[in-house]
């Protein structure tokens, strides 16, 4: 057996997968209850994305070694990936160690379907649920509440790592032990280090608490607060003592959790944007919006505009001023965007400040085809009555060796950008 496994490892190194699999399956005819051979078959099938074969090998392995926790996790994962949610749930239910392993097969659900349909956005009260502090999804025994919370791509969550149904309707979570139990009622605020997401996913939903008994309850939030997070909390008058700060990667149990639902890209998003504008009014300009603003991404690590200097030179000649939001305080960002009549910039976190633009402001967004599917700024513009023009680019730096991904740098079409400016402010070209 040792010699056979040594040979199969050699075949695997040579990537002779067909012969590798044939040898293992032939050996299993002779030794059908060999756990080592079955584990090898699982590994082969996994490498070849043959989830049906891998799942069957796991079932055979668990019949021999019912306490093989790794085989259980793999079986539930393979069934789930194949869309066989019932089989995955049944496998976990039969195993005595499922709970100890932290495995939960959860369906992505609305908190209250009837209220979601009739009200759109609302404040929910959940009893005895858990909150994971990386993606801030809310978990109970059978469901994960994500759609109305942060609506993150759970497939990429470190607690999921791809263990998802094909339609993303169910996920196999592997969570740590509960590290903290919160006995008193608290509000799910959550955390997000991205400047735009912090505004839209976290700040705006606090508007729903106004006029409710929950308006002054403690808030669950990330402990590693970024400067912009602290700045917004201060602007909203939220004292540090009101915050329940939690480390990333933790699982926290809440006896009573108040959840203002997500308003991002919702028809009622204006409830949040108008509330936030009122709260930070002291930072906003009250006079006519007259500024011409070019929003630079020169401090960004990803999705930079390769020819930004060329775009900038053209705009400066037309009277635009350059700002780098990442180098500005939050009040300064609010002030500059609130007095802009034309904003030009690349798709990015700084455009969260569109919340503060005056109705009628022209926004010219430079974006790449890799990110064109994201509707966030289209919604912000529509809710704020802004005039949004998007100039798309499919020009990338093909000399780079790195693989391409949605946040890769791109080259803006300068002619189209200036053309959009001409449409927005023809007097600049008179």
Whether 255 contacts 184, CB under 8 Å: yes
Q: What is the CATH number of domain 2-100?
A: 1.25.40.10
Q: What are phi and psi of 318, to 5 degrees?
A: -95, 0
Position 107 scores a pLDDT of 97
pLDDT digits (tens, 9 = 90+) for 187-224: 999 999 999 999 999 999 999 999 999 999 999 999 99
How many CA atoms are closer than 13 Å to the CA of 261, on its beta-carbon side?
Answer: 24
Note the pLDDT tens digit of each residue in 15-66: 545 666 666 677 776 677 778 778 878 777 777 778 888 888 888 888 888 8
The number of angstroms, rounded, from the C-alpha of 46 to the middle of its chain's C-alpha atoms is 27
126: its two tokens: 């959940």
Confidence at 405, pLDDT banded by 50, 70, 90:
confident
Q: Which of 209-218 are b and which e, b meaning 16 or more Cβ less than 10 Å from the residue's Cβ?
A: beeeebeebb
What is the reported pTM?
Answer: 0.88
Q: Are residues 220 and 244 in contact, defined by beta-carbon separation less than 8 angstroms?
A: yes
What's the confidence (pLDDT) of residue 9?
57
Q: 17 φ, ψ to 5°?
A: -65, -40
Give me the architecture of the 282-429 domain, per CATH.
3-Layer(aba) Sandwich (3.40)
Q: Which two tokens stand for residue 149?
A: 């919370």
Contact 261, 207 (CB under 8 A): no
CB atoms inside a 10 Å sphere around CB 129: 20
Q: What is the pLDDT of residue 20?
A: 61
pLDDT for 13: 47
Structural domain spans, the chain: 2-100, 108-260, 282-429
Does residue 96 carry a pLDDT above 60? yes
Question: What is the residue whose two structure tokens read 């055979």?
Answer: 60
Q: What is the pLDDT of residue 8?
A: 53
pLDDT tier, 14 (very low <50, low <70, confident <90, very high otherwise): very low
């Amino acid at each position: 057996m040792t010699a056979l496994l040594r040979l199969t490892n050699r075949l695997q190194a040579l990537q002779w997968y067909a012969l590798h699999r044939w040898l293992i399956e032939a050996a299993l005819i002779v030794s059908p209850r060999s756990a080592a051979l079955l584990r090898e078959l699982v590994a082969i099938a996994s490498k070849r994305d043959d989830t049906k074969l891998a799942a069957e090998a796991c079932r055979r392995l668990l019949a021999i070694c019912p306490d093989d926790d790794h085989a259980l996790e793999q079986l539930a994962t393979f069934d789930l990936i194949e869309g066989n949610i019932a089989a995955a749930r049944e496998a976990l239910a039969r195993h005595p160690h499922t709970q100890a392993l932290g495995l939960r097969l959860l369906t992505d659900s609305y908190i209250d379907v009837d209220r979601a349909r009739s009200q759109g956005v609302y404040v929910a009260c959940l009893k005895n649920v858990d909150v994971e502090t990386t993606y801030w999804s809310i978990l109970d025994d059978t469901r994960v509440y994500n759609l109305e919370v942060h609506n993150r791509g759970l497939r990429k969550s470190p607690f999921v790592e791809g263990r998802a149904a094909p339609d993303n309707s169910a996920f196999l979570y592997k969570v740590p032990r509960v590290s903290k139990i919160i006995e008193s009622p608290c509000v799910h605020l959550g955390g997000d280090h991205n400047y735009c997401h912090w505004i839209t996913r976290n700040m705006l939903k606090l508007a729903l608490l106004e006029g409710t008994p929950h308006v002054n309850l403690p808030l669950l939030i990330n402990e590693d607060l970024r400067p912009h997070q602290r700045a917004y909390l201060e602007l909203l008058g939220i004292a540090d003592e009101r915050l329940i700060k939690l480390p990333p990667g933790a699982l926290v149990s809440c006896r009573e959790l108040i959840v203002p639902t997500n308003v991002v890209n919702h028809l009622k998003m204006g409830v949040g944007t108008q509330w936030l504008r009122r709260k930070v009014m002291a930072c906003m300009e009250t006079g006519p919006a007259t500024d011409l603003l070019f929003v630079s991404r020169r401090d960004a690590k990803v999705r930079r505009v390769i020819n930004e200097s060329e775009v900038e030179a053209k705009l400066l000649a037309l009277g635009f001023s350059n700002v780098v939001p990442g180098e500005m305080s939050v009040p300064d960002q609010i002030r500059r965007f609130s007095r802009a009549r034309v904003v030009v910039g690349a798709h990015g976190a700084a455009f969260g400040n569109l919340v503060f633009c005056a109705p009628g402001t022209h926004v010219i967004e430079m974006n790449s085809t890799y990110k064109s599917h994201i509707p966030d700024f289209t919604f912000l513009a529509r809710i704020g009555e802004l005039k949004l023009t998007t100039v798309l680019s499919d020009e990338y730096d093909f000399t780079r060796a790195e693989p391409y991904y949605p946040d890769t740098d791109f080259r803006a079409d300068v002619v189209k950008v200036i053309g959009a400016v001409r449409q927005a402010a023809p007097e600049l070209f008179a």
